[in-house]
Structure 1
Amino acid sequence: MNSMAIPQLTSQLALEVLLPLRVANPSGLVRPPVYSVDEKSFAPLRQTRYLQGQEVNTVLLDSVESQANRQETLLYRHVPLPDLRVELFDGRQVSQYEAPGRILDPIFREAHWNGTPFHQTPLFQAIAKGGEGAERTLFRHSPLTLVYGGWLSYGDTPAEVAPKWPRLVALEVLGLDSKEAYRTSSRWDPLGLPGELPLPEAMSQALKERGKKGRLSEAGLGRMPPAASPLDVAVRKAVLVGAVSLVGLRNLRLPQEAREVLLLLILLGLALQHREGYRLRSGADLVPEEAGCLKVRALPSGEEVCLEVEPLREELERRLSQLPEELRWPTEPIVLTANEELNQLYRNALLGKAERAKAKREKEEKEG
């Protein structure tokens, strides 16, 4: 992409993404995420969609939310984004780009900035008010919230009127013409221990102290008879499909140069994922059917744009350097300090299973 392409793209309505993929396993076997619908058993999510006007049966291989997280993680690794972090009692820092809600995540509600609760700081209050000032603040301190969406889901503002920024990028990976496949499990034990063999008392007691029932299988011992569950699928092929809303981008109350930076972030996130590859999880490796760059189509013009990492990164760096001072990204992260309540929750999470089970028993005995 040359430097003239970005202003031209911002005048379009949307970018269409339709990338054919094939499963690396030549049998088409792929491991999808599983979902519980209406509180029923977990299973792959099958839906009927339309691709290029044709009705197709699909299975979800990667959700919109998961795709956003993957691209956000890659941008965090490869771009000097402005950052807000919360530091816990052991020195661990959690970035806003690791938190589900980004800068609006409740983890930051439970933190202080120079002794002041974060939600009382001018930075947070500027976001909470919504409007143009909020979007300028987000651009400077959390640009990916504007790209992948955010909602102020806590605080004094009612949920119905709380500021929301709809995602601009909505992509997912679908498997086509899926067939039911079974996920197998088994364990061979060289000691020949039958699964129903009772444990020695000391071993059983140790497991019970960790909240277990004291069974052989819980100790990782014994034979596990072969079993199979219909949790996998076989697909003819897959597709990365979705759209980038350029109308949504234009609706942001930001100067044109800021909107163009956001568009470059979007395109770079797509290009980075394409370069790094589509490994969704264990047993779910997908490969583009055609080698080369990721091609997206601008609508309504129909112009095809080839996305490559290095030209996009260079263009982003150039445009960032030309931003006016009031839109520049801070070069150092803002580090908040977790409050005592959040630190205590984190301490509890670090406790071993034995300690948690013991605390649970003591609580039950006290209440009983």
Structure 2
Amino acid sequence: MKIAAISVKSELKSITNSAHVYPATFADTGHNLVGLNKADGSFKAVEIDSVGSFANRMESELKNAISDILPDITTTISGRTLSVMELPHRIYDAILRDSTLDATPWRKSEVGNKILTSNPQNATALYTYAPLTLLLGGWDSHGGDAGNGVKITRSVACEIWGYDGVISKHCTQRIDPLDITSNAQKHLMVDGVLTLAPDQKAKEGKKPSELGHGDVPSKADKGVFVDRIELSGAISLTRLNRYQFPDDNGDTSPERNAAAVNVLTEIAKLGISLVLDNLDLRSGCELYSENRQFDIIYANGNRESIDVCSSTEHLKTAISLAEEHGLKFNDKPLQLMAGKALADLVARGGDL
């Protein structure tokens, strides 16, 4: 029976054994809450870590753990070298677009063109130079024709949610050792120096508490109490099996394609396992996995439990088998340099 996916589920706990955690915070939204009751602050679910954030964590963990195995593409800008595994849009990022390979614009170079024109019918170049894009997805939206740019749909999606909780208040109080009162005269900051506001500028002056002096109370919605935290996700074999990996002559075989998919699957399993080993998500949200369940899901709905760990043994075996079919990772990082316009832009705009 054909395998549709490998699912993963893990119950997570805070290392402090507290039900109080700090979920992800989004601009203009705050915490992403589902089923919020504004009257009492209770909710059904809160997003602890998004699919995109978890994908970034996988890239970071894999880069740190198996940089000697995975291929890499780097670009150097103002003395700083960035890996494709650090760029927001991976192989399709504008930073790479505006870099050069051996003085040739990246998109016009032979290798760059092969990679950027890869698609599900011919994904060999992506496998060779940037396999994580095949797992985590990407869109060539910066290529000049976003509507027709290549889109690689993610095959791995994991997220972390907290359930059945209530919003907590973050209350702080600065106790002033100088006993400066709230009705003290107003002041201004002039060139970074505290200055008494003259009478004619009294309206522009600020209370001591607004300038960091005096007793300063603070209260805001921050953090949540939750009954449970769960990670759930899957590696889609249905999606990975759509990719074809022809050789230079355009020839391929079911065995060659299966060997490539097996390598990608092992990378995904390893990446998820590594993140589960290092769930220091943010201040106030350092977690550990109380249990882990990986299941093969067959097309007919049957399930089979499998063991997944952070060992590279299975991955190395899969890579060796793929090499027997002529599929090999690029063994040296492709080293790009920022183009003149990008380098000038960074120089004028400060650090990246």
TM range (shorter): 0.7 to 0.9
Q: Match of 1:66, SS?
A: helix
Deviation at 1:217, TM superposition (A): 8.2
Does residue 97 (structure 1) correspond to residue 96 (structure 2)? The answer is: no
User: CA separation in 1, counterparts of 2:194 and 2:102?
Assistant: 48
From 94, 98, 119, the equivalent of 1:106 is 94
Deviation digits for residues 167-219 of structure 1 (CA, Å, limit 9, x no counterpart): 1111110001010111234434434456775246443499xxxxxx9979899
* Matched residue type, 1:178: G
Q: Map of 1:9-158 to 2, 5 A cutoff?
A: 11-36=2-27, 41-47=28-34, 57-79=44-66, 80=68, 81-89=70-78, 91-131=79-119, 134-156=122-144, 158=145
Deviation at 1:230, TM superposition (A): 1.2
Deviation digits for residues 45-79 of structure 1 (CA, Å, limit 9, x no counterpart): 1126xxxxxxx921000000011111111011111
Deviation digits for residues 210-268 of structure 1 (CA, Å, limit 9, x no counterpart): xxx99798998424612111131110110001222110111111321111100000000
From the superposition, tell whether residues 227 and 259 of structure 1 become closer, same or farther in structure 2 (CA, over 3 Å).
same
Using the TM superposition, name which of 139-148 and 281-290 deviates more: 281-290
Q: Map of 1:191-202 to 2, 5 A cutoff?
A: 191-193=178-180, 197-199=186-188, 201-202=190-191
From the superposition, tell whether residues 223 and 172 of structure 1 become closer, same or farther in structure 2 (CA, over 3 Å).
farther
Q: Match of 2:147, SS?
A: coil
* Matched residue type, 1:88: I
- TM-score, with structure 2 as normaliser: 0.81
Higher strand share: 2
Q: Map of 1:290-309 to 2, 5 A cutoff?
A: 290=291, 294-299=292-297, 300-309=301-310
Deviation at 1:327, TM superposition (A): 2.2
User: CA separation in 1, counterparts of 2:135 and 2:235?
Assistant: 10
Q: What is aligned with 1:238?
A: 229
* Matched residue type, 1:302: R
Please say if residues 178 and 233 of structure 1, whose CA atoms lie closer than 8 Å, have aligned partners that are also in contact. Answer: yes
Q: Map of 1:150-229 to 2, 5 A cutoff?
A: 150-156=138-144, 158-193=145-180, 197-199=186-188, 201-204=190-193, 221-223=212-214, 225-229=216-220
Please say if residues 84 and 335 of structure 1, whose CA atoms lie closer than 8 Å, have aligned partners that are also in contact. Answer: yes
User: CA separation in 1, counterparts of 2:225 and 2:157?
Assistant: 25
Deviation digits for residues 130-159 of structure 1 (CA, Å, limit 9, x no counterpart): 435751100000000001001111224x33
From the superposition, tell whether residues 63 and 223 of structure 1 become closer, same or farther in structure 2 (CA, over 3 Å).
farther
* Matched residue type, 2:232: V
User: CA separation in 2, counterparts of 1:239 and 1:110?
Assistant: 40
From the superposition, tell whether residues 266 and 66 of structure 1 become closer, same or farther in structure 2 (CA, over 3 Å).
same
Structure 1 unaligned residues grouped into runs of 5+? 1-7, 49-55, 207-212, 352-368
Does residue 320 (structure 1) correspond to residue 307 (structure 2)? The answer is: no
* Matched residue type, 1:139: Y
User: CA separation in 1, counterparts of 2:113 and 2:215?
Assistant: 56
From the superposition, tell whether residues 252 and 184 of structure 1 become closer, same or farther in structure 2 (CA, over 3 Å).
farther
From the superposition, tell whether residues 218 and 314 of structure 1 become closer, same or farther in structure 2 (CA, over 3 Å).
farther
Deviation at 1:272, TM superposition (A): 1.1
User: Number of residues paired by the alignment?
Assistant: 318
From the superposition, tell whether residues 340 and 216 of structure 1 become closer, same or farther in structure 2 (CA, over 3 Å).
farther
Please say if residues 91 and 130 of structure 2, whose CA atoms lie closer than 8 Å, have aligned partners that are also in contact. Answer: yes
From 244, 260, 263, the equivalent of 2:262 is 260
RMSD: 2.9
Q: Match of 1:329, SS?
A: coil
- TM-score, with structure 1 as normaliser: 0.78
Q: Match of 1:178, SS?
A: strand
Please say if residues 23 and 237 of structure 1, whose CA atoms lie closer than 8 Å, have aligned partners that are also in contact. Answer: no
User: CA separation in 1, counterparts of 2:273 and 2:75?
Assistant: 29
User: CA separation in 1, counterparts of 2:273 and 2:128?
Assistant: 23
Q: Match of 1:43, SS?
A: coil
* Matched residue type, 2:328: R
Q: Match of 2:161, SS?
A: strand
